[in-house]
A and B are shown apart, each in its own frame.
Chain A
């Protein structure tokens, strides 16, 4: 294919079309892009389809409205924590303390609101504040002393778990009475409002994509084929319609799901459309190049660690809200592992500089589906651990292989 070769005939104009788009949509090109790992989100959607099919065959209650509604609530906390993990991974760093921080923040919130009588909203803010403080500390240790984030946050993993035990005190558990805190995961919207929210999201997304396209056309720049864009928008609209219909068939669209989607959109905007986000990618791709380009690398790192721990705290608060309690197990166990595995499964690289915020949600859906499906099948913990471990390894292998292929393709 001459179009694939690196050099165009001498004197040819420089193309401006987004890479991997030709003049028309082609299945073959789409498959090639899939193999290169360029369409990680499509790959993971196919994965979700396979997983759902398997579990539906094994147990016909898997795709029921009740179960999918439960799944939505189950993954809200992990998906929120994972947003922060994606940002840290984009930097080429890691945060192993997100699980422990989520537990400690929820513990602080619960103790302040239940035992000290703080207003629930104030207690939530305080919980987020705990996250901010810890994240700033992590970033400070990493940038000021040059300690690998792996080590700083590994120490934090232990230390913040200890802090949770200390905060909870002798009882070791704090139950949450009904309040704004528990409302976070027990509020469901009226079906009509659900449809309005869904429609608004689709229309806003389509409008923004079409606006970008129009601006590019007006500026005489290349645009990807309209057929591909329409197909994408159709798939997304169908997914949103299906999700709202299913959730409405049960209790309605949960507030927690709206919170998660809003966070996804907000942080996608920050990472993809702002100078700050561009600098995060640059630091993750080539720290020295970023520094020489005048980017304040330390400031970027500290702020990302701070945001990551704040999002971990937010996830911990959602988890506590769903459990209606904070106990000594909050934020421990597989919370950390799943929060990191999710984005990686969905195509965010462990090696820095490559990834996307939505991988936090897509990955949480993959892992949440497997876990939920195995629970429905009443599998024992031994099998569940081994299967989850195998899926994680497979996903990381795919990441490593696509990376090798990309380097070989040079």
Chain B
């Protein structure tokens, strides 16, 4: 465990002076099950932090704690240097934390524009009545998607029902940016996507970093993790097992940390698990 402390400190120093979000001692229990135990984590501006770990390691629990959907039982959150509360989704949104869940929550019967602006539609006020400003929303949609490098959409007036998985993911991520967040949480954005679509989403995540956003990405796919992330945090059984700088760590290091075993030694011994 000693390696984790040293790498985390070293990588933190050169990304930015002050973390965007710092968690200290985050703990969450479901009855007798401790889903999160004393997790410390920092996220910086313009940084992609990958959150990896086996099933049940606490990745989703941690995301939900940060997004306020399922607040942690205890622990201290610091946002831009100030202590803050993260107890409701509203708290998170107010701070500037946007979350894209795995199920995306898109209305398939509506087009891309309607989905992007769902719940925050722009209206023109003609005396007495509010009329949807379709032209304005469509222009903003095109601007936003173009700025994110989303080029595969035939039309922003396409129904979401006829979009591919990658396009839907792109729409869901774009929607999270409408509220001008400072940090985006992505839950398995590349799960169930093909190779080309995965590459497109990874490129989109890089655009988020270029915009100076702090990004937390949950992923099972280590190849993706190495391609897109700056740092990799490994969760195991609810604890933060290790934090690596993406450039410094090897695939074996990560796997060893995820499983809690030293894979290289096992490999030389050739003992089956």
**A→B interface (CB under 8 Å):** 6-8, 10-19, 212, 215-216, 219-222, 273-275, 278-279, 281-282, 284-286, 288-290, 292-295, 352-354, 406-407, 409-410
Contacts and interface: CB of A to CB of B under 8 A. Distances in A.
9 contacts: A6-B154, A15-B156, A16-B157, A221-B135, A221-B142, A273-B131, A278-B118, A290-B118, A293-B105
A289 B145 CA distance: 20
Contact of B106 (A7, A13, A278, A286): A286
A285 B155 contact: no
B138 interface: yes
B108 A285 contact: yes
Given A282-B118, A290-B119, A294-B120, A219 B109 contact: no
Contacts of B108: 285-286, 353
Nearest to A5: B154
A51 to B, nearest CB: 29
B119 A295 contact: yes
B155 A18 contact: yes
Contacts of B103: 288
Nearest to B103: A288
Contacts of A11: 151
Interface stretch (B17-25, B160-168, B214-222, B228-236): B160-168
B119 A293 contact: yes
B176 to A, nearest CB: 11
B152 A7 contact: yes
Nearest to A15: B155
Contacts of A288: 103, 105
B154 A8 contact: yes
Given A15-B156, A292-B105, A216 B132 contact: no
A274 B132 contact: yes
B82 interface: no
A281 B159 CA distance: 13
A294 B119 contact: yes
Contact of B162 (A219, A275, A410): A410
A73 B123 CA distance: 38
A15 B139 CA distance: 11
Contacts of A275: 121, 123, 130, 132
Interface in B127-159: 129-132, 134-136, 138-139, 142, 145-146, 150-159
Interface size class of B (residues with CB under 8 A): 35 or more
B155 A14 contact: yes
A15 B146 CA distance: 11
Contacts of A220: 139
A322 to B, nearest CB: 33
B146 A13 contact: yes
Interface centre among B107, B129, B139 (most CB of A within 10 A): B107
A216 B135 contact: yes
Secondary structure of the A contact surface, majority rule: loop
Contacts of A279: 119
B165 to A, nearest CB: 9
A176 B69 CA distance: 59
Contacts of A221: 135, 138-139, 142
Contacts of B163: 6
Contacts of B130: 274-275
A14 B107 contact: no
B263 interface: no
Nearest to B149: A11
B132 A278 contact: yes
Given A12-B151, A275-B121, 4 more contacts: A8-B151, A11-B151, A220-B139, A286-B107
Contacts of A409: 162
Contacts of B131: 273-274
B110 interface: yes
Contact of A19 (B121, B134, B159): B159
B114 interface: yes
Nearest to A92: B109
A19 B157 contact: yes
Nearest to A296: B119
A145 to B, nearest CB: 25
Interface in B200-214: none
Nearest to B139: A219
B155 A286 contact: no
B111 interface: yes
Contacts of B162: 19, 406, 409-410
A6 B112 CA distance: 14
A278 B114 contact: yes
Contacts of A285: 107-110
A315 B132 CA distance: 29
B70 to A, nearest CB: 14
Contacts of B105: 286, 288-289, 292-293
Interface in B165-184: 167
A286 B160 CA distance: 12
Contacts of A353: 107-110
Interface string B79-110: 00000000000000000000000010111111
Nearest to A6: B164
Given A6-B167, A406-B161, A282 B152 contact: no
Given A6-B167, A409-B162, A289 B107 contact: yes
A409 B159 CA distance: 12
